[in-house]
Chain A
């Protein structure tokens, strides 16, 4: 085994090892079979030769993601240091992989985990797989915007009091819309009651590097955090990092990761994590200062249009809207008479602008250092046009996003239980056996084990009518739903 020495943040051990490997012109009699792109011309022309040449298999000089002992180990140690964590794992199955490993390493079948209901589907999926039981905390809703917020400390306190046997508390930091809970207090509360504090930071990578941004999971003393490097950190799609604090047995976490993660970890993804970490360490502060500047500018300008409400830190209330991620550009659209999803579609179809998502009442645009003033101006100007050309009376529009679910049975029992398919409109009162969600944002409207209500059905119908991309059910058209018999 190579001796591991502490490296500086301006090094990128995986990148350097891959450069060396490519430079050595090693003859490949291993996978992948495209052999540096020679075996697939069209793919090489499309993705580029350097990309195909970098698509290599794990080997001694390049280490092994499942059992890192050299360059990947070094790169992960650098990542841990950069994020202020004790250990870090590179994940190539998306932040879904990170979230699932985090949950499955913390709770076992039959054990309870406290979480806000507006978690990403990946968190509830983990419960379907491993049989743990969710205790949902009502995230509270901003009535005007119709969006779910963060968890209030008192709501978590109540959940802990009612479920002292729970093993862990999961916190979104931030939500998709950029809303943060009082993470520090919640982490302390969890620890005081002998529970682990887990953080879904799919949208919070930048918290670790920017100035004046909300507190990160590790800074708050959390035990684990799933960080989506590819979202705002600049690595390739599907690459992610799982961070562990000092009280976590990271060797056990590695075993849990290896239960489901591929044994053929992509070096495109792994190297992109290494390079992105280096970039964030060296330039992150400046990058996110620029991002915040763009987002704040766009927020101010969009608020001048009239009708649209690009919300921000003014909504912070010290409770369930404890802090706001200023890099997010979330805009409430209902006062213009348009559903967020309608604005989302108009922006793409008429103005050639693709934003992150639109839901019933809001749109979300992701701003990053990769943007230019030019694109920001286009977005703002298009909002002016959308208001001029499409605004209409807002009466009759659905005005809330979050419906408090009633959990009848654990997600695993419902998902694997005996089920039958019934038309959605006739399913009121039954127990749902699968997921229903708009994607994005991927926050379940219904999860397995929850009671279907009239209100939920009319919400689903409204979302469908407005053009939301609905997913989760076996019936791809989402006309029928599986319910527990």
Chain B
């Protein structure tokens, strides 16, 4: 049988993965959730037809969105994660024994339900006692908080649809308010190769830059995301992720990773000229 999942990376570019089996399809209040088994990427999760997680390459995204800030501030203990319904981000964070509390705010309970059932690889640590899941709008949750978190991770979908509110100036501002004085915010920051993503990336960067004193982007290579080149934002009230990297400390923790390491940490902030141009334009 010739069954393929296809995502449009632009109006003129398609990315396809051969599908072995369509496991489930759920229409939630917010989006359509699908899970497929694929020969090349293992089990994959899509939201509204956009690829979110594959078993084969999810580690890159989840390691990069978590270990970069964790290696900068060893005192991070109270963390807010927004989005991240697949559980991969939380899985990485629970590897730190000194983390005391992880609040996860996911708007769509159905995503978590589906992932618990079909994607144990990422959802495996959602039941950790330190993890508290709140099913509500991230923007709504964060605006009620003040001076509370050491780290906020914004693990969102693209800014078209459900995730839209998580790319706004008011969201970043309320995150700033919710963070403690040394707080760090890391976010999924789109990419620059295709125009529609590049525009979102520029808008997001200029809004974060106007909110936080330190605002940088770092990169990773994620084969299944549009163009394969993906960016993360690192914003903070005081730490510079390059000079404040605590490499020895982090290496002493003995956390085994497949993508992240402390040499790559410094390197990932070295971004190519086209991305720098984009940032300058924003």
Contacts and interface: CB of A to CB of B under 8 A. Distances in A.
A385 B164 contact: no
B174 A350 contact: no
Interface string B163-174: 011001111011
Contacts of B143: 380-381, 384
A161 interface: no
Contacts of A381: 139-140, 142-143, 165, 168, 170-171, 173-174
A377 B173 contact: no
A352 B164 CA distance: 12
Contacts of A378: 139, 165, 168, 170
Interface string B33-54: 0000000000000000000000
B177 interface: yes
B137 A377 contact: yes
Given A381-B165, A381-B171, A385-B170, 17 more contacts: A351-B168, A373-B137, A374-B139, A374-B162, A374-B165, A377-B139, A378-B139, A378-B170, A380-B143, A381-B143, A381-B173, A381-B174, A382-B170, A384-B143, A384-B173, A384-B177, A388-B177
B168 A352 contact: yes
Contacts of B170: 351, 378, 381-382, 384-385
Report, nearest first, the 8 A-B pairs whose CB atoms are least far apart.
A385-B173, A381-B170, A382-B170, A377-B139, A381-B143, A384-B143, A377-B140, A385-B170
A377 B169 contact: no
A350 B169 CA distance: 8
A27 interface: no
Interface string B42-78: 0000000000000000000000000000000000000
Contact of B169 (A351, A373, A374, A388): A351
Contacts of B171: 381
Nearest to A385: B173
9 contacts: A350-B169, A351-B168, A374-B165, A377-B137, A380-B140, A381-B143, A381-B165, A384-B177, A385-B173
Interface in B158-205: 162, 164-165, 168-171, 173-174, 177
A389 interface: yes
Interface of A: 350-352, 373-374, 377-378, 380-382, 384-385, 388-389
Contacts of B164: 374
B141 to A, nearest CB: 10
Interface of B: 137, 139-140, 142-143, 162, 164-165, 168-171, 173-174, 177
Query: Which of A352, A381, A384 has the most CB atoms of chain B within a 10 A radius of its CB?
Result: A381
A351 B207 CA distance: 9
Given A374-B165, A378-B165, A378-B168, A389 B139 contact: no
Nearest to A304: B144
Contact of B165 (A377, A384, A388, A389): A377
Given A351-B168, A374-B165, A378-B168, A389 B173 contact: yes
Contacts of B165: 374, 377-378, 381
Nearest to B140: A377
Contacts of B137: 373-374, 377
Task: Kindly name the residue among A350, A374, A388 whose own CB sees the greatest number of chain B CB atoms within 10 A.
Answer: A374
Contacts of B174: 381, 384-385
Contacts of B173: 381, 384-385, 388-389
Contacts of A389: 173
A385 B211 CA distance: 11
A346 to B, nearest CB: 11
A373 B170 CA distance: 15
A350 B207 CA distance: 9
Contacts of A377: 137, 139-140, 165
Nearest to B142: A381
A377 B139 CA distance: 7
Contacts of B168: 351-352, 378, 381
A306 to B, nearest CB: 12
A195 B177 CA distance: 59
Nearest to A380: B143
A315 B83 CA distance: 40
A380 B168 CA distance: 13
A266 B170 CA distance: 41
Nearest to A353: B170
Contacts of A373: 137
B212 to A, nearest CB: 13
A352 B165 CA distance: 12
Contacts of B140: 377, 380-381
B169 to A, nearest CB: 6
Nearest to B141: A377
Nearest to B177: A388
A351 B167 CA distance: 11
A464 B139 CA distance: 35
Nearest to A305: B143
Most buried by B among A352, A377, A388: A377
A104 to B, nearest CB: 47
A377 B166 CA distance: 11
Nearest to B162: A374
A465 B14 CA distance: 53
